[in-house]
Structure 1
Amino acid sequence: MALSIHPGAHKTASTHLQYSLRQVRDRLRAAGLAYLGPDLLRGQPLALSMILAQGLGGRDEAAARQAFRDMRGDCPDMLISEENILGLTHRTRLYSRRGEFYPRAATRLRHVIALADAGPAVLYLALRDPATFVVSAFGLQVAEGKEIDLEDYLCGRDPARSDWAGLVGRLAAVDNLSRIVLWRYEDYPALRPRLLERLLPQGLAAEVPDSPPANVGLTQPGYDWLLRRAAAFPEADIRLLVRRARQRFHPADGHAPLRPLDEATYARSARNYARDIEALRAMPRVEFLAP
């Protein structure tokens, strides 16, 4: 059985791709590909993050393996797309105390491959400029009511530090993984047709709709408004304020994206990202997609 795993990363247009694939799930299954996205992996029939938190051999391992078998059915191939395979964006989950990026990603990936009982797997992973990535991850935590101050979220970490090469190196060492296909989030619109051709049975890429943008984040004016309202009303529900900020200051109305760092940090981040990309291109078993 061919196994493809798309673990995100977070905030790299994963939801857009997942929603698009969900629209053609029945056609994919008819062509022999079982597509498992977040709608099937975050509750019923399978709470994957909970299973991964238990570790290999946890109390719900047998039930999880059976759930994977049931969802695969008689399909010869499987595509799993779930960014929480890498970990979570909470400040204590995205980085370890030593600063390691997605610290449990390799262990969690190894567990998913075991649960799927297939392989060798091909991993599909999107990367993103580190400063915009961490700001967007922070925005996700703000939307969930768990954060409001970027400095608190960073915990002294350098937002311009790029460690994709370190993450990919750890993932590449996972057993039963044949290769890793990488691309830059910034290139996703141009690469989307080629990516779908890689992921899907022949002839089906053209049938996948190009869904509207998903998970529209806070704009800079919206975040500034949120901070003012939260300071004026300390007991306010941050999640409610985020919803209102999104409505009042929507990017479709021309409001600037969230950009709370200084320009020197963004410039340094871009340089670090470029160096990381060059290192990744030279890694064995890594294929880098470019427009």
Structure 2
Amino acid sequence: MDVILHVGAHRTGTTTLQQTLHHNHQRLKAHKVEYWAPQMIRAGLFDGLIKAADRVSPQVVAQARTANQRIARDLHRLDAAGTRTLIVSEENMLGSIPASVTTERLYPDAARRVARLRPAFARHCTRIGLAIRSYDQLWTSMISFTVKRSGRVPDGDQLAGLVAQPRRWRDIIRELRVVFPRAEIQVWPFEGMVDAPHDVIARMTGRDLALPLEPVEGVHNPAPDIHALRAAVEAGPCAGHLARLAEWNSGRWMPFTEPQRTKMRADYAEDIAWLRSNPGPAISYIESPEDIVGPTEEERGVRHDEGQRRVG
């Protein structure tokens, strides 16, 4: 049995993909494909495995050992039942949004987090799926969620720190490669693939066949708009931060300046160029025929707008 770890990332269409997997669970099962959803994982299956590095105590280590044993038994049971492929989808395997924003680093402890999954999955894991996104849109979406949760709006220095932070998608990919050296790392861009969860599922499972999957409709975990952010700040401990939202009256918030966005887009373009250059036999890049970083939001048009509303 092959295990595919879909590790996210956050704000790259993960919820849309997960909803598609959930909605088509029985259809996938008919093709001997099983799916472990975040709800199942967070209900106790991964107890002790998904923790920040500074929260790993002896108790957490014991929980992780028990979880790895429990997962190994479940994998054996699925294998014995004839399951050919298991998709495990949980974006918190890489880390959390608050940790990335607070430390001003992209998933700072991703390697250590993913390494805790190795005892359970190393034998079966043949593929790891990772969606990536342009840094200006990624950090804006992440910050929006932390503002909604805490009511605190980052200041100019914090925003500049996120622009200058050194970790790139390439670092995450290399770390995944080190932890699971026998697994293929499949990477796809949010910008080109958010509207194609069926294609992503087919490629992740290694089957370019027309699975009879039904589409899912509606908005899936969109970033809060400016009205929701204002309400969160007003109700929180830092009402004075409202001034940092003053110039925005409607729509989606964009905290970064145009020069900052240009820099972040250039960083992302370098990642895409690296992926296109065939960086290794175990790293594959699934690219949409659409241009990834060239068009502006206005040029992408309605389809891109719809994708932005389904970013979870």
TM-score over 0.5 (shorter chain): yes
Aligned residue for 2:219?
A: 213
Return the alpha-carbon distance in structure 2 between the equivalents of residues 215 and 106 of structure 1: 26
User: 1:101 is paired with a residue of what secondary structure?
Assistant: coil
Return the alpha-carbon distance in structure 1 between the equivalents of residues 84 and 157 of structure 2: 43
Aligned residue for 1:271?
A: 266
Aligned-residue RMSD, C-alpha: 3.4
User: Residue type matched to 1:24 in 2?
Assistant: N
The superposition leaves residues 247-278 of structure 1 with CA deviations (integer Å, 9 ceiling, x where unpaired) of xx9xxxxx522212222222222122111211
Q: Where in structure 2 are the equivalents of 1:140-179 lying within 5 Å? A: 140-143=145-148, 145-151=149-155, 154=158, 157-159=161-163, 163-179=168-184
User: 2:43 is paired with a residue of what secondary structure?
Assistant: coil
Identity of aligned residues (%): 21
Determine whether 1:65 maps to 2:68.
Answer: yes
The superposition leaves residues 29-76 of structure 1 with CA deviations (integer Å, 9 ceiling, x where unpaired) of 343222112111112444352598648992023431243245543224
Aligned residue for 2:22?
A: 22
User: Residue type matched to 2:191 in 1?
Assistant: E
Contact 1:113 1:119 in 2 (8 A): no
User: Residue type matched to 1:118 in 2?
Assistant: R
Aligned residue for 1:196?
A: 201
Contact 2:129 2:187 in 1 (8 A): yes
User: 1:132 is paired with a residue of what secondary structure?
Assistant: helix
Return the alpha-carbon distance in structure 1 between the equivalents of residues 93 and 157 of structure 2: 21
Return the alpha-carbon distance in structure 1 between the equivalents of residues 228 and 141 of structure 2: 14
- The answer for unaligned runs of 5 or more in structure 1 is 237-248, 250-254
Q: Which has the higher contact order (CA 8 A, sep 6+)?
A: 2
Return the alpha-carbon distance in structure 2 between the equivalents of residues 64 and 140 of structure 1: 30
Compared CA separation, residues 153 and 36, structure 1 to 2 (3 A): farther
Contact 1:159 1:269 in 2 (8 A): yes
The superposition leaves residues 212-242 of structure 1 with CA deviations (integer Å, 9 ceiling, x where unpaired) of 2211222235434654x34xx7589xxxxxx
Compared CA separation, residues 152 and 25, structure 1 to 2 (3 A): farther
Return the alpha-carbon distance in structure 1 between the equivalents of residues 14 and 230 of structure 2: 27
User: 2:183 is paired with a residue of what secondary structure?
Assistant: strand
User: 2:273 is paired with a residue of what secondary structure?
Assistant: helix
- The answer for unaligned runs of 5 or more in structure 2 is 240-247, 289-312
Between 1:270-279 and 1:149-158, the stretch displaced more is 149-158
Normalised to the residue count of structure 1, the TM-score between the two structures is 0.78
User: 1:165 is paired with a residue of what secondary structure?
Assistant: helix
Q: Where in structure 2 are the equivalents of 1:227-238 lying within 5 Å? A: 227=233, 229-230=234-235, 234=237
User: Residue type matched to 2:285 in 1?
Assistant: F
Determine whether 1:82 maps to 2:90.
Answer: yes
Between 1:179-188 and 1:263-272, the stretch displaced more is 263-272
The correspondence for 1:286, drawn from 267, 272, 283, is 283
Q: Where in structure 2 are the equivalents of 1:12-51 lying within 5 Å? A: 12-47=12-47, 48-50=49-51
Contact 1:46 1:64 in 2 (8 A): yes
Return the alpha-carbon distance in structure 2 between the equivalents of residues 106 and 41 of structure 1: 19
Number of positions where the alignment pairs a residue of Structure 1 with one of Structure 2: 269
Normalised to the residue count of structure 2, the TM-score between the two structures is 0.73
Shift of 1:142: 2.3
